[in-house]
């Protein structure tokens, strides 16, 4: 049984945190408060809510009870003081960056990152005077300069499952007085809780494992009450990427079974990774649970299992990757991940396609790389599907 630092078992928090019966109606399920605004009661009370003197709902862009239940559950699962929910992962990430950075600041990243995040940093924030520098774990301690304000990391990384050391990142950030941010979308709080390693802020694309069923977009940020006040006050209130109450309800429902789904994702991912490893036509299988994965020791320390994602690098580059993807029958060729249904995609031409080729090659996002999000179907069917598709891809690579 996975226990969080705060004591209560993870499964109990997943099912119960943030949710209880509704005191007004005694409804058992969390109601969907599908309302844009809330009656303030009196001008005096309205002023007190808006000034932050008293807690209360005022306007759904900034707070809503159904969305609040998501926030309470996310904070409980990650072991943070507070959380703020958003309309998408990118909404959450842009809110964190824009709330906490100023012109002249530098963000040090450990790559690779999801293409959207990288592009937000390199292409958009650069216009507002925020610089980004990519370093390796080994370079990190010596890379901090006078302008560095934030360390930003994903672990395991999208799309090639590199593992970064959260203890190291938190230590470097603390010693230099920086804010550390970890995107925990791939690991989920069931496997890794970055705050327990000293990371300040956790971000998620809740579109993925937290919701788990590929039917909504959402994001969430977790951290100290002080940081979350800034993220809500600036990043949510001013930017307005607010989670809709109906999507919040579906997200809550998904989060209740995170622990059950993750067990199955992890089990199936190992089966698929082991089946593909060493096969003709396969140059590499990236899966942090293999003892010879460069990040295995760190993964074994900071993850309770190795996740539901596997990336496979095929001999024959883009042509082999396309032949493999086009031959899959159970896996659907689609971006996104963390769905109960298995998905596969070609990152170099989709999720990371807009980034410079040299950057992608340097960070191991090759033309032959296929990213697999392993679902919770029967492992035997998933293994049969990837092996059949591999046989086709291998024929393409040898020109048969």
Ligand X SMILES: Cc1ncc(COP(=O)(O)O)c(C=O)c1O
Q: Build a one-symbol-per-residue string for 218-237: x at contacts with ligand X by CB under 6 A, - elsewhere.
A: -x------------------
The answer to whether residue 89 forms part of the interface with ligand X (CB under 6 A) is yes
Phi, psi (rounded to 5 degrees) for 101: -105, 155
By CB atoms closer than 10 A (0-12, 13-18, 19+), residue 369 is: buried
Under a CB-based contact definition with an 8 Å cutoff, are residues 253 and 210 in contact? Answer: no
Under a CB-based contact definition with an 8 Å cutoff, are residues 87 and 217 in contact? Answer: yes
Minimum distance of ligand X from residue 215's CB (angstroms):
13
Marked catalytic residue, from 183, 200, 244, 305: 183
Tokens (6 digits) for 50? 């808006």
Closest residue to ligand X, based on beta-carbon distance: 89
Instruction: Please confirm, yes or no, whether 305 is among the known catalytic residues.
Output: no
The answer to whether residue 242 forms part of the interface with ligand X (CB under 6 A) is no
Nearer to ligand X by Cβ, of 180 and 205: the residue is 205
Q: Out of 68, 80, 112, 116, name the contact with ligand X by CB under 6 A.
A: 116
Under a CB-based contact definition with an 8 Å cutoff, are residues 228 and 221 in contact? Answer: yes
- How many Cα atoms within 13 Å fall on the side-chain side of residue 231? 30
Instruction: Please confirm, yes or no, whether 208 is among the known catalytic residues.
Output: yes
Instruction: Please confirm, yes or no, whether 183 is among the known catalytic residues.
Output: yes
Marked catalytic residue, from 13, 162, 208, 261: 208
Nearer to ligand X by Cβ, of 144 and 244: the residue is 244
The answer to whether residue 373 forms part of the interface with ligand X (CB under 6 A) is no
Q: Build a one-symbol-per-residue string for 161-190: x at contacts with ligand X by CB under 6 A, - elsewhere.
A: ----------------------x-x-----
Minimum distance of ligand X from residue 368's CB (angstroms):
20
Phi, psi (rounded to 5 degrees) for 50: -65, -30
**What value does the CA radius of gyration of the chain take, rounded to a whole number of Å?**
21
174 three-class SS: helix
Task: Give the dihedral sign, CA 337/341/342/343.
Answer: negative
Marked catalytic residue, from 45, 61, 171, 267: 61
Q: Which stretch binds ligand X (CB under 6 A): 66-74, 83-91, 326-334, 380-388?
A: 83-91
Positions marked catalytic: 61, 114, 183, 208
């Amino acid at each position: 049984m996975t226990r969080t630092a705060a004591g209560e078992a993870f499964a109990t928090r997943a099912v119960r945190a943030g949710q209880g019966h509704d005191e007004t109606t005694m409804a058992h399920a969390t109601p969907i408060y599908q309302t844009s605004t809330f009656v303030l009661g009196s001008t005096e009370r309205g002023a007190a809510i808006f000034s932050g003197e008293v807690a209360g709902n005022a306007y759904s862009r900034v707070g809503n009870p159904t969305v609040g239940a998501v926030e309470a559950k996310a904070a409980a699962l990650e072991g943070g003081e507070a959380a703020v929910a958003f309309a998408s992962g990118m909404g959450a990430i842009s809110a964190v960056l824009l709330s906490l950075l100023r012109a002249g600041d530098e963000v040090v990243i450990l790559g690779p990152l999801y293409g959207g995040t990288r592009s937000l940093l390199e292409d958009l924030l650069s216009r507002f005077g925020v610089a980004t520098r990519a370093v390796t774990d080994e370079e990190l301690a010596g890379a901090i300069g006078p302008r560095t304000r934030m360390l930003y990391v994903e672990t395991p990384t999208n799309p090639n499952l590199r593992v970064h050391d959260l203890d190291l990142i938190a230590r470097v950030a603390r010693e230099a007085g920086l804010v550390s941010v970890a995107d925990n979308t791939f690991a989920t709080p069931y496997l890794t809780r970055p705050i327990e390693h000293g990371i300040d802020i956790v971000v998620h694309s809740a579109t993925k494992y937290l919701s788990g069923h590929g039917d909504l977009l959402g994001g969430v940020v977790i951290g100290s009450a002080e940081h979350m006040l800034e993220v809500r006050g600036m990043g949510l209130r001013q930017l307005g990427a607010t989670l809709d109450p109906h999507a919040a309800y579906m997200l809550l429902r998904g989060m209740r079974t995170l622990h059950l789904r993750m067990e199955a994702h992890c089990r199936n991912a190992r089966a698929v990774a082991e089946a593909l490893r060493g096969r003709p036509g396969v140059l590499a299988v990236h899966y942090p649970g293999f003892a010879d994965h460069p990040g295995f020791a760190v993964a074994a320390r900071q993850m309770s299992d190795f996740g539901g994602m596997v990336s496979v690098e095929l001999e024959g580059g883009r042509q082999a990757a396309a032949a493999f993807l086009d031959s899959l029958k159970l896996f659907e060729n689609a971006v996104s991940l963390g769905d109960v249904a298995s998905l596969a995609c070609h990152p170099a031409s989709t999720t990371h396609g807009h980034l410079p080729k040299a950057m992608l090659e340097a960070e191991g996002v090759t033309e032959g790389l296929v990213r697999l999000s392993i679902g919770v179907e029967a492992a035997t069917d998933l293994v049969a599907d990837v092996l059949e598709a591999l046989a086709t891809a291998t024929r393409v690579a040898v020109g048969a």
